[in-house]
């Protein structure tokens, strides 16, 4: 629903307000930089023409709309896309290694084909065709999995990815998958194809069906691919580990309130129906009284803002303040009823909180100011207010330390900006609650009596409940209380504080899950690849192992020989992966919280996990090799 912008509202002409946003379409051929320069010239002219001695200069800020909508998501999606690409490379290296091992077994077959007239390009084509068919088969299964995943994404209530249309598997996605399948088929089939197209025909035809060991070049390539798999897997696991630790820190961070068993919901009290301060106050008092009698409710409160869900702010003027850092410091404003701090578990540090007398005094002051504004036909910022008008405020610890460092804040007074002469008298100091984001520290905040904010425009209030039972159990009774008082009024944004916190952690949770899934998949692929390569090497060396055991080698010697061969690859992969992770994790440093991109504990834990899984992958074929019957092995061909 669109309605005309009411330019006659007093708030529109308050130069200290910044609640409206301007949207414009730039002419063809005009850059954003040119638009910025033009509007800065306009704002400078407005400042010169309209500002008063108490005003600060106001400047224009121009951003592309796309940047405002998707700016935060773009970097995160690029990181996830990069993780997918790394997993794809691990898969390619894995399959290439297995095909390379398989191609070594097929050397005599290829030599016979060459002897019968097959050209080298024909052999290479055969190997590439086989690998591409494998890739296309994998892509088909992948598309089925993608369709299932997208269906889950479409049923999600919220998504951190901004989009115009629902995500779905369309022709573009199909073509992309087909292109990637062909590309990776060529990529992991290239090494075996080159290996089989470069044969020494006379030597291969004279060789036995199963060589004891692969040629040096093939072995080096296999080892290189295996080391690369381990290194990439380690880098992905480190990234996932850092995000997991960040997620754990976010879950345990102190946001200044006790979110357990707190339910919040919003309600609009319209000024068109409740036209006076007295009428609005009466409705809200009845609402609190009825809500507090709901079974299972221990306390209730009303407020205009809620922790970690954004807020409203303004400038303050503190007598004697000379700190230049505070000239542009905004202080959050939250209008509350007396039990707000009790409901949210915010501790009182010194002084007192509001009482019923404060509510009455604030309501009387509100009515007095309203009458003066009507008589003068001016807004509060342009009126000559009588001296001596004051009301009590409670401030948070951050505001006390910012404006009155090493002083006693109780009893101190301050005013608003731009002609607001109302004196705010500090009566109490409470703990800090985070206002906008659980990642950001609390900023100065002052709490005022709810009755001071009532007036002609009505009020939007949040009803908060501290419950002794599961919050969901009182949602229906709470709706019923509002409906019984006013059947035309509805509640909305019904959420628990834990739900609200979870919403702010949604992006981190999704990133952790996705990157963790990719890293786990890479680890599994690396382990499977290492197992496959070691199994192949054990098979190739069966005859050699039989000779060693016939000459006196024990099972432990064979076990150590095979594991040490894999251990060298694992160690080299861990070293390279650690170096790579130190660089790659800098890309996700902005997503981290409470942990650095070089956190030693994460690197050590991830490296230990990877080494353990890789050694297990080596142990299984090594153990099989140590149990070879020497007589069977000596007859093995």
Domain range annotation of the chain: 10-62, 73-207, 214-253+498-637, 262-469
Confidence of residue 212 (pLDDT cuts 50, 70, 90): very low
Comparing CA positions, the residue from 619, 286, 326 lying closest to residue 444 is: 326
The predicted pLDDT at position 210 comes to 46
59-71 mean pLDDT: 81
499-509 mean pLDDT: 80
Confidence of residue 243 (pLDDT cuts 50, 70, 90): confident
350 pLDDT more than 90: yes
Instruction: Round the average pLDDT of the chain to a whole number and report it.
Output: 82
Q: Which residue has the higher pLDDT, 446 or 91?
A: 446
Task: Give the tens place of pLDDT for each residue, 162-174.
Answer: 555 667 778 888 8
Instruction: Determine which helix (DSSP H) or strand (DSSP E) holds 314, and give its type and residue range.
Output: strand 312-314
232 pLDDT more than 60: yes
In eight-state DSSP terms, residue 157 is S
39 pLDDT more than 60: yes
Q: Which residue has the higher pLDDT, 55 or 482?
A: 482
Choice among 142-156, 197-211, 536-550, 607-621 with the minimum mean pLDDT:
197-211
Residue 524 structure tokens: 């599994």
Quick check: helix, strand or coil at residue 436? coil
452-475 mean pLDDT: 89
The predicted pLDDT at position 396 comes to 93
Start-end of H helices in 486-505 = 497-504
| Greatest pairwise CA separation for the chain in angstroms | 112
Start-end of H helices in 51-170 = 65-105, 107-115, 120-155
Burial of 28 (0-12, 13-18, 19+ CB in 10 A): exposed
In eight-state DSSP terms, residue 17 is -
How far, in Å, CA of 12 to CA of 476, rounded? Answer: 39
Q: Give the angle subtended at the CA of 143 by the CAs of 140 and 147, to the nearest 5°.
A: 145
Confidence of residue 211 (pLDDT cuts 50, 70, 90): very low
Task: Give the tens place of pLDDT for each residue, 335-344.
Answer: 999 999 999 9
HSE-CB of 595 using CA atoms within 13 angstroms = 25
335-362 mean pLDDT: 92
How far, in Å, CA of 327 to CA of 338, rounded? Answer: 31
The predicted pLDDT at position 325 comes to 78
Residue 97 structure tokens: 């290694």
Is there a contact between 269 and 283 (Cβ–Cβ < 8 Å)? yes
The predicted pLDDT at position 99 comes to 76
300 pLDDT more than 90: yes
570 pLDDT more than 70: yes
328 pLDDT more than 50: yes
Choice among 18-22, 137-141, 277-281 with the minimum mean pLDDT:
18-22
């Amino acid at each position: 629903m669109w309605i005309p912008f009411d330019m006659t509202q007093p708030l529109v002409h308050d130069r200290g307000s910044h609640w409206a946003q301007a949207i414009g379409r730039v002419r063809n051929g005009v850059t954003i930089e040119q638009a910025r320069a033009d509007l800065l010239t306009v704002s400078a002219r407005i400042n010169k023409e309209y500002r008063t001695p108490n005003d600060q200069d106001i400047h224009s800020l121009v951003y592309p709309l796309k940047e405002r909508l998707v700016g935060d998501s773009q970097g995160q999606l690029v990181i996830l896309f990069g993780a997918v690409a790394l997993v794809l490379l691990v898969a390619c290296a894995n399959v290439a290694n297995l095909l390379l091992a398989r191609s070594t077994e097929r050397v005599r077959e290829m030599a016979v084909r060459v002897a019968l007239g097959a050209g080298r390009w024909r052999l290479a084509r055969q190997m590439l065709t086989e690998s591409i068919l494998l890739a296309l088969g994998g892509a088909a299964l992948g598309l089925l999995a993608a369709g299932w995943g997208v269906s889950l994404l479409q049923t999600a209530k919220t998504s951190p990815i901004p989009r115009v249309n629902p995500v779905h598997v369309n022709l573009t996605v199909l073509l992309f998958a087909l292109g990637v399948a062909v590309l990776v088929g060529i990529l992991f089939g290239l090494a075996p194809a080159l290996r089989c197209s470069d044969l020494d025909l006379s030597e291969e035809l004279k060789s036995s069906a199963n060589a004891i060991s692969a040629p040096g070049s093939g072995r080096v390539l296999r080892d290189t691919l295996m080391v690369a798999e381990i290194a990439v897997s380690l880098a992905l696991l480190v990234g996932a580990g850092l995000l997991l630790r960040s997620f754990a820190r976010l879950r345990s961070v102190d946001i200044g309130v006790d979110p357990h068993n707190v339910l919040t919901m919003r309600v609009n009290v319209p000024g068109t129906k409740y036209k006076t301060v007295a009428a609005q106050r009466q409705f809200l008092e009845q609402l609190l009284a009825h809500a507090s009698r709901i079974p299972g409710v221990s306390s209730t409160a009303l407020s205009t803002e809620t922790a970690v869900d954004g807020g409203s702010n303004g400038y303050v003027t503190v007598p004697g303040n000379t700190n230049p850092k505070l000239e542009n410091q905004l202080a959050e404003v939250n209008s509350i009823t007396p039990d707000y701090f009790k409901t949210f578990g915010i501790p009182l540090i010194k002084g007192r909180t509001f009482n019923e007398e404060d509510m009455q005094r604030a309501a009387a002051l509100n009515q007095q100011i309203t009458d003066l504004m009507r008589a003068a036909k001016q807004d509060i910022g342009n009126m000559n207010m009588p001296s001596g008008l004051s009301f009590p405020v409670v401030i948070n610890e951050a505001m006390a330390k910012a404006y009155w460092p090493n002083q006693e804040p109780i009893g101190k007074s301050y005013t608003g900006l731009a002609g607001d002469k109302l004196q705010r008298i500090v009566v109490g100091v409470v703990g800090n609650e985070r206002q906008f984001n659980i990642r950001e520290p609390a900023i100065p905040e002052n709490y005022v009596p709810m009755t001071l904010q009532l007036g002609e425009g009505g009020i939007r209030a949040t009803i908060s409940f501290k419950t002794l039972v599961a919050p969901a159990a009182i949602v229906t009774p709470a709706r019923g209380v509002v409906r019984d008082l006013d059947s035309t009024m509805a509640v909305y944004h019904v959420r628990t504080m834990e739900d609200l916190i979870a919403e702010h952690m949604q992006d981190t949770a999704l990133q952790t899950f996705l990157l963790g899934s990719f890293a786990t998949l890479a680890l599994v692929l690396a382990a499977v690849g290492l197992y496959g390569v070691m199994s192949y090497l054990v098979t190739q060396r069966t005859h050699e192992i039989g000779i060693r055991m016939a000459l006196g080698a024990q099972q432990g010697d064979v076990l150590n020989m095979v594991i040490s061969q894999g251990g060298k690859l694992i160690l080299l992969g861990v070293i390279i992966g650690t170096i790579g992770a130190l660089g790659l994790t800098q890309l996700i440093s902005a997503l981290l919280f409470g942990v650095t991109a070089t956190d030693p504990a994460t690197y050590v834990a991830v490296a230990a996990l990877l080494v353990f899984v890789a050694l297990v992958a080596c142990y299984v074929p090594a153990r099989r090799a140590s149990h070879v019957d020497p007589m069977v092995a000596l007859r093995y061909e």
